[in-house]
Amino acid sequence: MRRNILVYPDPFLSRKASPVAAVDEKVRTLIRDLFETMYDADGIGLAAPQVGVGKRVIVVDVSPVDETAAPVALVNPEIVAREGLCVGMEGCLSIPGVQGEVLRAETVVVRGLDGGGDPVRLEAGGILSRALQHEIDHLDGVLFIDRIPSEAATAK
Distances (CA, A) of 134 to 22, 58, 77, 145: 24, 10, 12, 11
Among residues 78, 83, 90, 135, the one annotated as catalytic is 135
The tally of CA atoms less than 13 A away on the side-chain side of residue 65 is: 14
For residue 135, indicate whether it is catalytic.
Answer: yes
Distances (CA, A) of 156 to 24, 96, 97, 134: 39, 9, 5, 19
Q: Is 15 helix (H, G, I), strand (E, B) or coil?
A: coil
Give strand ranges (E) for 13-151: 45-47, 57-60, 72-90, 98-113, 119-125
Q: How many CB atoms lie within 10 A of CB 38?
A: 26
Closest to 114 measured CA to CA, from 70, 144, 51:
70
- Catalytic site residues? 135
